[in-house]
Amino acid sequence: MALIEGCSLVLASMEGETSEVDLATLVETYSQLLFRIAHSVLRSRAEAEDVVQDVFLRVIKHRHSLVTVRDMRVWLIRIAWNLAIDRRRRIRPEQLDHSFAESLVASNVPADKALDEAQRMRTVLCELERLPKGERHVLLLAAIEEMGMAEIAEVLGRSESAVRALLFRARTRLRKRLEEAGKR
């Protein structure tokens, strides 16, 4: 990302006014959030990093229309989300990075407990995959701590009440499925 240091995008509005967007500041401010969003969908570090790079390539490509963007944060999140979903469609669930579950386990846990915990994480991820698409998407976005209901609604193009309902159903369904899986 050092290549964009000091890089500003000059934006021209319809009224002829110009303003600047510092690309380095955008990258610094939003890269980690965009990575977490992409990583939650793709479960692959490399794929998530590619998505983040693609987001900022889109920013450069659309630099002339950036003045029309009402909320830069939501706009960037929506791009990252859509790019991650598009990449995800090309990956079958069984092709997901199997080390993802292991990466979620604390490193200071004894090996036998780490194996058990990794298995539980794989179960959660498997059950998450079985959720209806709308519920899964809302649950993933809600798990990213920086996103509120209004932002999730805007990213997904739904109302806040629909997002709340989907989130409630997703959590309820996931909890029930995990309880059933624990009994087996």
Report the percentage of the chain scoring pLDDT > 90: 39
* 72: exposed, middle or buried (Cβ count in 10 Å: 0-12, 13-18, 19+): middle
CA distance 70 to 165: 26
Domain boundaries, the chain: 1-96
Q: C-alpha angle 97/107/102, rounded to 5°?
A: 20
| pLDDT range class, residue 36, cuts 50, 70, 90 | very high
Cα separations in angstroms, 40 against 71, 145, 171: 22, 12, 16
| pLDDT range class, residue 95, cuts 50, 70, 90 | low
* 133: exposed, middle or buried (Cβ count in 10 Å: 0-12, 13-18, 19+): exposed
pTM tops 0.85, yes or no: no
| pLDDT range class, residue 34, cuts 50, 70, 90 | very high
Asked if residue 77 has pLDDT above 60, the reply is yes
Q: Which residue has the tokens 């939650």?
A: 40
Cα separations in angstroms, 106 against 6, 18, 122, 145: 38, 49, 15, 19
Asked if residue 17 has pLDDT above 60, the reply is no
| pLDDT range class, residue 153, cuts 50, 70, 90 | very high
Q: Which of 8, 74, 10, 3 is nearest to 37 (CA)?
A: 74
Neighbours of 121 (CB within 10 A): 16
Per-residue pLDDT, 107: 66
Residue 79 structure tokens: 């791009």
Per-residue pLDDT, 4: 43
1-96 CATH: 1.10.1740.10
* Per-residue 3-state assignment (H helix, E strand, C coil) for 9-43: EEEECCCCCEEEEEHHHHHHHHHHHHHHHHHHHHC
Per-residue pLDDT, 145: 67
Mean predicted confidence (pLDDT) in 26-52: 91
Asked if residue 56 has pLDDT above 90, the reply is yes
Mean predicted confidence (pLDDT) in 93-109: 59
Chain mean pLDDT for the chain: 80
Mean predicted confidence (pLDDT) in 67-75: 87
